[in-house]
Amino acid sequence: MAKNILVFGANTLQIPLINKINELGYNSIVVTLVPTEPGAEIAKQVVIEDFCDEKLMLSIARKYNVIGIVTDQTDIPVRSIAYVCEKLGLPGISYETACLFTDKFLMREKCKQLGISTLKYRLVNDIEQALDFYDSNNFKVILKPINNQGSKGVCLAENREEVIYAYQEAIKYSKGNPILIEQFVTGHEVVVEGIAFNYEFKNLICGDTYYFKERNAFAATQRIFPSRYDSEVINRVLRLNEKIIKGFGLKQGLTHSEFIISNNEIILLETAARGGGVFISSDIIPLMTNFDTTKFIVELAVGKICSFPEIVETNKFCSYLAFFLPVGKVIECENIQLIQELDFVHGNNLDKIKLGLETFNNVDKTSRYFMVLEAGSYDEIQERISYIKSQLNIKVQRDGIMYSIIWN
């Protein structure tokens, strides 16, 4: 009997999933355009193709007689997986549902249909339409591709000149699709991780988000779980998240949702039919709930899950801690191994940092370096964050000047 499972993507965040497939005795077949990615090194087989090509992925799934298709912590393959699973009758979500979770315009439209208030927005096909939306409203705007991830092509605009620039940046990542322009609001951001099975849904954990000051990077330097925000408001967030996930018709899988709380109003930023990135899915959820998320994803994909898994709160506090490196070349690199060997440090991508590494502009969240931490209390997580910041020494040189880590 064939035991082949396709994995769409091979970057660092796919490693826990690929390892789990191998551990459970299945054959991991990774699809990626970048065979040097770390996940390709541990997969049983590598297929060098574009997993966004739905029809091609269908032919590959048939070729290898796969029994399941998986990914985690990334939006890009979600639609392709749904397409192939629907065509082959494999366990998965519907293609229509996948589109709701991966197209930011459809996401907003569905929320309106469900009676959920959203940011003001418009789908635009040219700069003139974008400028018309901006001129018609008295607020800052965000322009973004409708179906990308990692904050690529996302820009804030505060005047007409910036709208023109932001539109041109968004177009670079739009894959020929229109651009979404929407209202920009500030407030406290919370993130919610959840789980769906047989169209039922449960919230798992909720945390607070803290952003870098880097303009247009739209990347979090920390996410700390559980949230310390007002409990009454958080309960409203959780109820709203459940309404959205059920309203979108998600049959099964992990979910990741981001909300902004502004003037006591709760607004969905975006939701995703996959686990949270930066090892939230593979490390933070298990640390806080004793729920083996990667095993769940694999067994769900091959039809072995019959009910909701048991969720047991561990009362731990967890955080991911991220940083950018300035533009230049790494000339000092100290204590990375020390940090990685700490018993409270879990998933991380620090091994990417080497002497001589060339670094570039931080224009989106994909250039971050990060690690997951656990602790027994909020104060202890803060102490551990401070300790890591005091120990990790990375210097980047540019034009004869040395620069240090960008923590915020």
Instruction: Provide the 3-class DSSP secondary structure of residue 199.
Output: coil
Q: What's the residue count for the chain?
A: 408
* Ramachandran region, residue 162 (left: φ > 0; alpha: ψ -120 to 50; beta: rest): alpha
* pLDDT, mean of residues 225-247: 98
**Predicted local confidence at residue 398, as pLDDT:** 97
- How far is residue 65's CA from residue 67's CA, in Å, rounded to a whole number? 7
Other Cβ atoms less than 10 A from the Cβ of 233: the count is 16
Q: Tokens 């992990």, residue?
A: 254
Instruction: Please state the three-class secondary structure of 100-124 as a single string.
Output: HHHCHHHHHHHHHHCCCCCCCEEEE
Eight-state DSSP code of residue 130? H
**Predicted local confidence at residue 27, as pLDDT:** 98
Q: Which residues contact 208 (CB under 8 A, 6 or more apart)?
A: 188, 189, 190, 191, 223, 224, 225, 227, 228, 229
**Predicted local confidence at residue 43, as pLDDT:** 98
Give the model confidence (pLDDT) of 338-350 as tens digits: 999 999 999 999 9
Q: What is the CATH number of domain 120-183?
A: 3.30.1490.20
* pLDDT, mean of residues 115-127: 96
pLDDT for 215 beyond 90: no
* pLDDT, mean of residues 300-325: 97
pLDDT confidence bin for 86, thresholds 50/70/90 = very high
**Predicted local confidence at residue 150, as pLDDT:** 65
pLDDT for 272 beyond 90: yes
- Taken in order 215, 218, 223, 228, the sign of the CA dihedral is positive
pLDDT for 271 beyond 80: yes
Instruction: Provide the 3-class DSSP secondary structure of residue 401.
Output: strand
Other Cβ atoms less than 10 A from the Cβ of 183: the count is 16
Helix (H) or strand (E) holding 182: strand 179-183
**Predicted local confidence at residue 363, as pLDDT:** 79
pLDDT for 224 beyond 80: yes
* Ramachandran region, residue 7 (left: φ > 0; alpha: ψ -120 to 50; beta: rest): beta
- How far is residue 337's CA from residue 342's CA, in Å, rounded to a whole number? 9
**Predicted local confidence at residue 217, as pLDDT:** 77
Q: Tokens 């191994």, residue?
A: 337
* pLDDT, mean of residues 390-404: 98
Return the closest-CA partner of residue 142 out of 319, 270, 275. Answer: 270
* pLDDT, mean of residues 48-73: 98
The yes or no reply on domain 187-315 and CATH 1.10.238.10 is no
Average pLDDT, the chain: 96
pLDDT for 2 beyond 80: no
pLDDT confidence bin for 151, thresholds 50/70/90 = confident
- Taken in order 242, 247, 253, 257, the sign of the CA dihedral is negative
pLDDT for 1 beyond 60: no
Give the model confidence (pLDDT) of 9-53 as tens digits: 999 999 999 999 999 999 999 999 999 999 999 999 999 999 999
- Topology of 4-90 in CATH? Rossmann fold (3.40.50)
Q: Does 16 sit behind a cis peptide bond, omega within 30 degrees of 0 on the bond before it?
A: no
Q: Tokens 């409270």, residue?
A: 344
pLDDT for 322 beyond 70: yes
**Predicted local confidence at residue 239, as pLDDT:** 98
Exposure string over 251-260, b if 16+ CB within 10 A, otherwise e: bbbbbbbbbb
* pLDDT, mean of residues 144-171: 91
**Predicted local confidence at residue 19, as pLDDT:** 98
* pLDDT, mean of residues 81-85: 98
**Predicted local confidence at residue 152, as pLDDT:** 82
Phi, psi of 209 (to 5 degrees): -115, 135
Domain coordinates in residue numbering, the chain: 4-90, 120-183, 187-315, 318-403
* pLDDT, mean of residues 92-120: 97
**Integer Rg of the chain from CA:** 21
Return the closest-CA partner of residue 143 out of 105, 191, 99, 111. Answer: 105
**Predicted local confidence at residue 384, as pLDDT:** 98
pLDDT for 148 beyond 90: no
